[in-house]
Chains A and B, each alone.
Chain A
Amino acid sequence: MRLEALETRTDEFDERNLVLQAVLGMLSAAARMDRLLDREAPAGATSQPGVVHAEDRLLVEFVLGLVSFRDTIGRIVTDAAMPPPHRDVPRRDHGATAGDDGDGLFRGVLR
């Protein structure tokens, strides 16, 4: 009986731990992506800002999707780390709809 209880708790721990590992993995990947973008696509470094060639469009949109998702994960983690009284502050739906300050917010979580 005790062994069953222990196994149950171990299973629960593993399941929770997998989520934790996945979240940490996403945070690590996001931080790495931040540094990569700072290095390879620094702000103001382009001669033709905003001009996306047709052949580049899919890749640009894919990277934008990653950036938006990074913002969403940052908000979720920030929210989860807040003390309970502050958790019910109205928030935006997700990164693709509005990310005006997501960049700075997420960097605050990671750095």
Chain B
Amino acid sequence: MHPQPDVQEEDGLPVLTLEDEGQELLSILEEAQYLILRHPIAAQGLFAAFVAEGRRYAHTAEGRRWTERLAGSDLIRKGRVVWEVTTMKVLEEDAPNVFPSAYAEAFAQVTRQHPLEPLLSRLFDPTGDDAT
């Protein structure tokens, strides 16, 4: 039922080969709907975090350029309809404490810690005591 990825392009990235394009695209959208309904809290958290990061990014020079690109595009104008139908408008903006990039940066910074174990062991400290 799921489209099978097939390596076809020059850069070697996997490419979805759709035999019955309409049906296969619907299957992917249904899969997205299923994921949102099955994991609503995670989906909401991810969505809100990316929206918050995007809002902050929009204040940078590069973010403004991207906003201009996106604002008048079919990707957004038509994409909003697809988005609302697919997500059933259940995803809302929220105020997350941490942006997705902050998670990625934190992950990378932790990998540079020496030694690593004392820091990680504090994740399991129920008291939250910082003392090592």
Whether chains A and B associate is: yes
Q: Using CB atoms and an 8 Å cutoff, list the residues of chain A in contact with chain B.
A: 28, 31-32, 36-37, 40-53, 55-56, 58-69, 71-73, 76, 79-80, 87, 93-103, 110-111
Q: How many A-B residue pairs have CB under 8 A?
A: 161
CA distance A102 to B63 in the complex (A): 10
Contact B69 A43 (CB under 8 A): yes
- Taking CB atoms, residues of chain B closer than 8 Å to A47 are 72
How many chain B residues touch A (Cβ–Cβ < 8 Å)?
44
- Taking CB atoms, residues of chain A closer than 8 Å to B75 are 36-37, 40-41, 63
Q: In chain A, what residue has the closest Cβ to B68? A: A49
Known: A41-B74, A97-B60. 5 other contacts (CB 8 A): A60-B70, A63-B66, A64-B58, A68-B56, A100-B60
Interface of A, helix, strand, loop or mixed by DSSP = helix
How many whole Å from A35's CB to the nearest CB in chain B? 9
Quick one: which of A31, A42, A94, A99 contacts B63, CB cutoff 8 A? A99
- Taking CB atoms, residues of chain B closer than 8 Å to A52 are 67, 70-71
- Taking CB atoms, residues of chain A closer than 8 Å to B69 are 37, 41-46, 49
A60 with B71: in contact, given A32-B13, A66-B50, A73-B104 (CB under 8 Å)?
A: yes
